[in-house]
Structure formats: structure tokens, C-alpha cells
A and B are shown apart, each in its own frame.
Chain A
């Protein structure tokens, strides 16, 4: 398969993630869409790495995975803290910075 096939696939996946972030109202769903975008970026990094014969792309994907794991843990903890205070994860109702 040519490089362009993987890049287009990755672009479509990233777009689905963008649409999810823009249209979803649930904080956890928005978070999952962000994960989708991270995976799309990973896919294009690995495609470039394989076709250009350069291991730097794969190492970068490894780091992205580690950062994504940390980000998920902290983000879900923040969502739990918000839910404790507001009893909702709908971002339309989470509109105050201080209470």
C-alpha cells in the first residue's frame, strides 16, 4: 500500500476525532475523541517512519503513548473531581471557573 493510503486513513481518523470533540456534549466522550486524534497522529508517524526507513518516528510514537497514558489518568481524575462537585459531566453545565 502506498504512503498516501495510510496518510488519508490517518486524516479521516483525525477528522472523526475533531467532529467528536466539536459535537459531543459529554466530557468523557470528548476525551475519547482526543484519544482518537492521538492515534491518528501515531498512525501517520509510523507510516512516515516505515517509508522513510527512519526509527525516530517509532520512538516518537512510543513517547506519545506514554504521554497519552499519563494524560488519560489525570484527565479522568479531573472528570471525577468535576462530577463530585457538579454531579454532571455535560460540558454545557460546567461553565463556572470558581464556586
Chain B
């Protein structure tokens, strides 16, 4: 195992660990902060896959925008503690965890049963594929129509969010 593989493995462990701590934490602010760490670890993994532009977008959109939105809502609603309802919660927790593990086993069997996917080197010119220039060229030529539709979707999202959050329902 060379130093690059060791680094990527450590990042993977950090990502999984912070995701688990996000699920298990009783304090919502703590789980938001664990989620920031998860997103930053994912951005680092994007960098190891030579996707520089999307790594930066991950940091800006997720660790920047979405996290601030979550923090803002938690502080606005003033719910910092996660209320675990007693009684049914334990039963549901065990059942949920068992279903989750079964799901993981299923995914692992599918991935590991395929013969391909063990060659450990990226294609030689992969590093140029993640740059802003390359992604922008593909985005504004082959994927121009979906790009415009996404801008409409974002507009609809902003208008819908404003409408829902400001409307007095009584």
C-alpha cells in the first residue's frame, strides 16, 4: 500500500465515521457539524478521482449553502435535542438497522460479484476531464437544454420555498 492509497483509505474512514456520528448524535447541531465533515471528505474523494470542479462545487453548494440552510432552520425552530420517543423507537431502530445491513450486504454482493472494477489506475488523461473548462464545454454544448431546465427548476424551488415558508396557514 503506497502513501496515496493510505491517504484515500483514511479519507474513506473519516467519511464513514462522521456519517455514523451524524446518525447517532442526539444533539442536532453536532450532527449538522458531522455532516459538514462528511461532505468535506466526499469532496476530497472527488479530488482523488480527478473531478476538481465538482469537488469545489461540493464544498460551495453542500458544505456552504445547504448546511447553512439546515442550521438556520434548526435555530429558527429552536429544536436542538432529538427527541427519541420511548417504546416503539427501540423496536423500530433494531428493525431499521437490520434492514439497512441486509441492504448493504446486497449492494456488496452485487459489486464484488462483478469481475471488472479491480484495475487500480485511472485512465491517463482523466485529470483534464474534471476541469472547469472541460465540464463547461460539455455542459453548454451537449447538455444545454437540461441546463436551462435546471435553472427553471431552481427558480420554481425559490418561489415555492418563499411561498410555503411565509404563508400563514390559518
Contact = CB atoms under 8 A, between A and B. Distances in A.
Contact of B100 (A22, A78, A83): A22
B39 A39 contact: yes
Interface in A27-79: 28-29, 31-33, 35-36, 39, 42-43, 46-47, 49-51, 53, 55-56, 58-59, 61-63, 65-74, 76-79
Contact of A26 (B15, B82, B134): B82
- Sort chain B's interface into a size bin: 35 or more
Contact of B51 (A25, A35, A46): A46
Contacts of B61: 65, 68-69
A16 to B, nearest CB: 5
A65 B58 contact: yes
Contact of A29 (B31, B38, B123, B150): B31
A51 to B, nearest CB: 7
B16 A9 contact: yes
Contacts of A72: 66, 69-70
Contact of B118 (A4, A26, A89): A4
